[in-house]
Amino acid sequence: MRSLVRRYLIMALGSLLIGTGVALVVSGNLGGDSMTTLEQGISRSFSIEMALTPLIANALFTVALLLTDRRRVSLDTLICPFLITLGLKLASLIIHPGESLLGRIVQMVVGYLFVALGIGVGAQSETGSNPYDGFVLALSEKLGKDYRIIRWAVDISVLVVGIILKGSFGIGTFYAIATTGIVADFFIGLLAKVF
């Protein structure tokens, strides 16, 4: 029982860190990640409220995760997106947009660092993760390929679909694609020795 509680606490911490990172990225306003581009595209192409599109995107990746490795789908797969949203909302109460371009760049870089750290922490929980990150991890293991390569492939694919659906993007989007997989992979390996 204690072990289960510990795993859920680790999962919650990882999700809240990701949410905090997203809040910083949004505040920097230099472009969100591929998933955000996809969500905006779904909203614009199908006239769906933006507030609903994360649920739709997460549902799509839950199905993809089921097809890739159904063992990774659990109650946590549904809980994680809500905890990420909670982390985003709480962090948004204290984070303010950078006034200068340099300040916004710092927010973006630190934000994606938090996202990668959250992915690394969440990977240690063994209870599951949000559908997107769970899908990338499962695909990496199933194909026996390096996490970073699979992350790049999935991020780029999702971005292309998002752009086709008229989602917006910016320099932050490409920064996320270039760095998130590398940094998250580093944290996954480092934290495996801690947890």
- The number of C-alpha atoms within 13 Å of 17 and in the hemisphere containing its C-beta is 22
User: Taking Cα atoms as reference points, which of 8, 12, 17, 7 lies closest to residue 183?
Assistant: 17
CB-based contacts of 185, cutoff 8 Å, min separation 6: 146, 147, 148, 151
pTM of the model: 0.84
CA dihedral angle for residue 125, residue 130, residue 134, residue 137, rounded to 10 degrees: -70
Amino acid at position 41, single letter: G
* 34 vs 51: CA distance, rounded Å: 17
Task: List the one residue out of 16, 43, 41 whose CA is nearest residue 115.
Answer: 16
Token pair in block for residue 59: 């549902």
pLDDT by residue for the chain (195 residues), tens only, comes to: 668 788 889 989 999 999 899 889 888 889 889 998 998 899 899 998 876 888 899 889 999 999 998 887 887 788 888 888 889 889 989 998 888 999 999 999 999 999 999 999 988 887 666 889 889 989 999 999 998 899 999 999 999 999 999 998 999 999 999 999 899 999 999 998 877
CB count in 10 Å sphere of residue 169: 20
Taking CA atoms, 85 is separated from 26, 32, 59, 111, in Å, by 13, 15, 15, 15
d(CA 70, CA 151): 19
Residues 6+ apart with CB under 8 A from 100: none
